[in-house]
Structure 1
Amino acid sequence: MWSWYYKKKRMATGVNMKAFKWIILTTVSILACGVRCVTCGNASDHHADKNCDLSFEKTDVSVKTWELNLLASGYQLRTNLGYYKLYTTSLKWGQAWKKCEADGTHLLIINSETEAQAVREIVSSYPSQYAYIIGFHDYFLEGYYVSIHGMRLEDEGYSKWGSGQPDNWKGSEHCGAMRKDGSLADVHCTYSMWFICEHEI
């Protein structure tokens, strides 16, 4: 059936369909080589692969440099979790969010009890501080708390509230904080507080 179809097409258009199919297959192979960085079997493709390997090496170096920059700027690495920094300057919630973004990180989102414990250890050096701004809020709907990534706290993996929390004190607490014991609390978004940034591994 297909041979009849190609013969008919060739007669109708004067196009050599075998040559046409070869061009299509070659083009697809070249595209695959470029995208997947596979060795396609000739000298020019080998050169492309070498360039691809070099690109990967440069990317790897770039990532390592970026990680070193985080450590140099005061971030702490917690194995299998990520990089964390406790800022000991007080900012409002929105300003703290912006500062973390400027670092290439984001306000802390606690995803597990293990992570909560790691952060408790970080803040334990400052026993006089009661709470820290982290990355959740109920701006969109009162009582419906979501992370800065738009996910419900339960879906993020951690929603352990402190005693009596959230209480929306005076009807105006819409931003998130973590108490020094690792429990969550709602706070006024205009309060200036210490805050925690993170970057997951």
Structure 2
Amino acid sequence: MKAAGALLVLLSCLSEAGGAEYVPETPALVPRSESLITSPHGMSWSSITRPKPAVLWSSKIIADLAKQVSVLQNNAVDKALTLEMAQLKADLTLEMAQLKTDLTLEMTQLKMTQLMADLTLELEMTQLKTDLTLEMTQLKTDLPLEMTQLKTNLTLEMTQLKTDLTEGQSSLDLEMTQLKTDLTLEMTQLKTDLPLEMTQLKTNLTLEMTQLKTDLTEGQSSLELEMTQMKTDLTLEMTQLKTDLTLEMTQLKADLTLEITQLKNQCPFGWMRTGDSCYYYSEYETKTWQQSRDYCQNQRADLVVINSREEQDFLDRLVVNRDKMVWFGLTDRETEGVWKWVDGTPLTTTYWKPGQPDDWRQGEDCATLENDGTWNDIPCGLTRNWICEIVL
């Protein structure tokens, strides 16, 4: 750019020099007088017809310089544009590199955040699975132990029963064999049903786990609530299962006891026999009238029904000897003043204490056998001893 400026200055000077006043030369072959002929403009003829060498040389130089100036100007412009393009390209490259670096950092940070979230979720699921596995393992351990203990108790009872039955007929042996077969079948069925129930429980648990895994994406608080609810439901189901199993085994044991008693035509251990009935007297325990009846019914019996004078005398001796007052199977809870036996038979003969029943304060609906051998009506919610009866 500086060289172009210098050339422009030089060109301007030469142009001014080419416009200077010309002093005519006198040609050697032309007379002096002819050279003095002037044009109307005051110039000599010679100056009009002959070119001036200094002017020709200046014009050529000016033209060449002008061309060089133009070339230099074009080269300077191209070089400036090239430099600007190179600078722009370098800046753009730097910006692109910075942008790429920032984008890479952001993507890395985002991936790390997502990875941490996934890892946390996986750890929570692993812990949940571990806890549930421990609970299921404990349950599988406890149930076989309870079943083994129950089976051991039944085996001991059967062994004791077999020891006691040293005398009997072949028919009794056949019936005992059949009974043992039936018991084995029931135990087998129970053992079959229990794995099915466990499988169903496991299936339900798996479904709940799948649903729980789906719901985990909705938030940690909802996960904790669902986990608590699921654990509660599982506890309730297991409690219900154990309760049902206990009830079934209790029922089975009571049925077995009754069948064995009927086969032997003997009273259960701890019961007393008179005539065709077996009696149980709760000498050391008291309950309400309804609780006493529930106890008897769980033993495949009921509160005693007094059908004869002999039975009344037998119970009278039982109570008087122990100075106790006991419940028996007589009540007017359904209709006031209409006393009924628990087996539905009508009340024909009574042994009420004088002045009884009086339904004192309108709250005495259950009968007791007093320690003097008479009957009295008292509130059913009081606790007394009781007597159960099994009719053989």
Task: State the TM-score, normalized to the length of structure 2.
Answer: 0.33
Residues 77-99 of structure 1: CA deviation (Å, up to 9, x unaligned) = 11x24111111211000000000
Higher helix share: 2
Residues 94-134 of structure 1: CA deviation (Å, up to 9, x unaligned) = 0000000011111011001100111122223312x2x2111
Residue 167 of structure 1: how far off its partner (Å): 0.8
After superposition, the Cα gap between the structure-2 partners of 1:81 and 1:118, relative to the gap in structure 1 and judged at 3 Å, is farther
| Aligned with residue 347 of structure 2, among 150, 153, 169 | 153
Q: Which residue of 2 aligns with 1:40?
A: none
Q: Which residue of 1 aligns with 2:357?
A: 166
Q: Which residue of 1 aligns with 2:387?
A: 196
Distance 2:332 2:173 in 1: 41
3-state SS, counterpart of residue 195 of structure 1: strand
Q: Does structure 1 residue 111 correspond to structure 2 residue 319?
A: no
Distance 1:184 1:124 in 2: 13
Which AA in structure 2 matches 1:58? E
Q: Which residue of 2 aligns with 1:179?
A: 370
Residue 152 of structure 1: how far off its partner (Å): 2.4
| Aligned with residue 132 of structure 1, among 299, 322, 326 | 326
Residue 175 of structure 1: how far off its partner (Å): 1.0
Q: Is the 8 A contact 1:86 1:123 kept in 2?
A: no
Distance 1:118 1:81 in 2: 13
Distance 1:143 1:70 in 2: 35
Residue 180 of structure 1: how far off its partner (Å): 2.5
**Percent pairwise identity:** 23
Residue 195 of structure 1: how far off its partner (Å): 0.6
Q: Which residue of 1 aligns with 2:278?
A: 83
3-state SS, counterpart of residue 305 of structure 2: coil
After superposition, the Cα gap between the structure-2 partners of 1:54 and 1:152, relative to the gap in structure 1 and judged at 3 Å, is closer
Q: Does structure 1 residue 93 correspond to structure 2 residue 289?
A: yes
Residue 192 of structure 1: how far off its partner (Å): 0.5
3-state SS, counterpart of residue 268 of structure 2: helix
| Aligned with residue 268 of structure 2, among 67, 71, 88 | 71
Q: Does structure 1 residue 122 correspond to structure 2 residue 313?
A: no
Alignment RMSD, CA only?
Answer: 2.7
Which AA in structure 2 matches 1:82? S
Higher strand share: 1
Aligned length: 142
Distance 2:310 2:171 in 1: 38
Task: State the TM-score, normalized to the length of structure 1.
Answer: 0.62
Residue 200 of structure 1: how far off its partner (Å): 1.9
Q: Is the 8 A contact 2:320 2:373 kept in 1?
A: no
3-state SS, counterpart of residue 117 of structure 1: helix
Computing the radius of gyration over CA atoms, which structure comes out larger, 1 or 2?
2
Q: Is the 8 A contact 1:82 1:200 kept in 2?
A: yes
Query: RCO greater where, 1 or 2, for CA within 8 Å and sep 6 or more?
Result: 1
After superposition, the Cα gap between the structure-2 partners of 1:57 and 1:119, relative to the gap in structure 1 and judged at 3 Å, is farther
Which AA in structure 2 matches 1:71? P
Residues 45-74 of structure 1: CA deviation (Å, up to 9, x unaligned) = xxxxxxxx96994179877732578431x1
After superposition, the Cα gap between the structure-2 partners of 1:170 and 1:66, relative to the gap in structure 1 and judged at 3 Å, is same
Which AA in structure 1 matches 2:322? Y
Which AA in structure 2 matches 1:114? E
Residue 186 of structure 1: how far off its partner (Å): 1.0
Q: Does structure 1 residue 58 correspond to structure 2 residue 175?
A: yes
Unaligned runs of 5+ in 2: 1-169, 180-255
